[in-house]
Amino acid sequence: MTQVQQSLEDKIQASGGALSMLRASNDSTVIFPGIPPEFTNWRDEQAAWHHSVVLFEQSYHMTELHIRGGDAVKFVSQFATNDLSNLTPMRAKQLIMVDPSGHLISDAIIFRESDDFLRVVGPPTASNWLQFNAENTDLSIEVARNDNMIVPRPSRDVFRFQLQGPSALDLMRAVVDGDLPDIKFFRIGEFNIAGHTVRALRHGMAGRPGFEIYGPWEVQAEVRSKIEDIGKQFDLRKAGSVTYPTAAQESGWMPRPFPSIFYGEGMRAFREWLPAKSFEGTCSLGGSFVTDDMSQYLVEPNELGYGPMVHFDHDFVGRDALLARKDDEHRVKVTLEWNNDDVFDVMKRSVGSARPRTKFIALPIPMYATFEYDQVLLGDRLIGISQWCTYSSNAGSVLSTALIDRDDIEMGREVTLLWGEPDSQRRTVEDHDLVGIRAKIAPVPYFDKAIKRD
């Protein structure tokens, strides 16, 4: 007898709703498999992307969807808010996708490797959404999935490394066989390292040059070895799994906004297609911001700074909803710089035998849920939510990326972040009292301020 696989929608209904399911999940934060937490120590690994060069291992944690066929670009354009008409071969773009109501499903990076081959790289939700729609299209495409390695397996399609920092360009020039081609921003170049043909996407973080190198899985050891050997001349540091997620903080990218796939009847068919044991079915929602109105967790492209990238001159899922609201007032993405005295006090009160205790702040990653939403208050008034948070050795403090009501934003203004999870249902969260942590509003990306100050 064949057992019917439980869908995400089945699990949601059995849990009494999506929010109940997510708040009861014991999944903590994002897992970065395949590498140790630290290669040296996370403080110096963080410093490397400011002062020398860091190697990020990206071979294991990202999901890829390969889309082939003459209609590949036409297919993805139906779901891309941004314009793909100029996505010529050997170029890449950030891919931003929304649901029919205009709320963010996911972003990813789309590589056009050739006329008829697209590679979508990023979180599982992006690949899941496109794969679901590919199974219901009449366009001339074929899709193949290349899952991340959170569940270990021997190999995958390509390895992927990123070199980032002020010495990245010099290291790249030294490590390639022959001359490094001139690769423009978000273009792809092809060259040889250690006798093997590889490609690299040129991009940067907070004004620092960077290269994302990828090539056949079976040659990665030789390519990595040459980079590491020559990298000694440039004080190369390898970033461990606790260092890697902190890099997003300084660049201002919000890696884990709440995806709209849980919301509304418009996404029900997708939830019925997704397995209960998918990423979406096992992730968690946590933090001090608690409401039964799921719409309050959703975000739109303009809130994340993607508004200028939305292209209304082509038809895509969610276009009409975004067009109707394009001139509406919206929240603005900022950085919050947490007060060190308050952070250290919370850490002190979270350990030992004294009760009541506070929610522990782990460094460099305080987050304890897949989607973490904490209240940001001005006095007693809620003015926004704080999301992705990590400690930055370069800043000397915990930073978080927040969405704040526009009228309340004033650089340097002190606000209060409410830390903790009231009445938590999760065994991974200890009993604790909620506590306020002072924080100052700062720019996104954060180090625009530091560069000017220097």
Instruction: For residue 138, give the CATH number of its domain.
Output: 3.30.70.1400
**Domain assignment of residue 67, yes or no:** yes
Does residue 152 surpass a pLDDT of 90? no
pLDDT tens digits for range 238-271: 999 999 999 989 889 999 999 999 999 999 999 9
pTM: 0.95
Instruction: Inform me whether the pLDDT recorded for 450 exceeds 50.
Output: no
Where residue 454 falls among pLDDT bands split at 50, 70, 90? very low
| pLDDT band with cut points at 50, 70 and 90 for residue 150 | confident
Percent of the chain with pLDDT over 90: 89
- Residue of 223 and 4 predicted with greater confidence: 223
Domain termination site, one of 146, 170, 196:
146
Please write the tens of the pLDDT for every residue from 85-118: 999 999 999 999 999 999 999 999 999 999 999 9
Are the C-beta atoms of 109 and 95 separated by less than 8 Å?
Answer: yes
Q: Is the pLDDT of residue 228 over 50?
A: yes
Look at 16-30, 135-149, 371-385, 424-438 and tell me which has the smallest mean pLDDT: 16-30
pLDDT (average), residues 288-304 = 97
Question: What is the rounded CA–CA span in Å between residue 276 and residue 6?
Answer: 6
Same domain for 74 and 196, yes or no, is no
Residue 204's pLDDT is 73
Structurally, the chain folds into a number of domains equal to 2
Q: Report if residue 225 sits inside a domain.
A: yes
Task: Specify whether 162 is located in the same domain as 238.
Answer: yes
What are the φ and ψ backbone dihedral angles of 360, each rounded to 5 degrees?
Answer: -60, 140
**Residue 180 shares a structural domain with residue 139:** no
Strands laid side by side in the 208-216 sheet: 188-193, 196-205, 208-216, 158-164, 53-57, 236-239
Query: Last residue of some domain: 146, 165, 186?
Result: 146
Q: Is 50 within a domain?
A: yes
Out of 251, 276, 307, a domain closes at: 251
On whether residue 201 sits in a domain, the answer given is: yes
Helices (H), 78-161: 124-134
pLDDT of 213 higher than 70: yes
Q: Are residues 97 and 53 in the same domain?
A: no
Q: Which residues contact 140 (CB under 8 A, 6 or more apart)?
A: 69, 70, 71
CATH of the domain at 227: 3.30.1360.120
- Domain annotation covers residue 74: yes
Rg (CA), the chain: 22
Considering the domain boundaries, does residue 392 fall inside one? no
pLDDT, residue 449, reads 36
Q: Is residue 391 part of a domain?
A: no
Residues 176 and 52 placed together within one structural domain of the fold? yes
For residue 220, give its domain range. Answer: 42-61+155-251
State which amino acid sits at residue 245: P
3-state SS assignment for residue 391: strand
CA angle centred on 242, ends 240 and 248, rounded to 5°: 100
According to the model, what pLDDT value does residue 303 have?
A: 96
Q: Is residue 85 situated within a structural domain?
A: yes
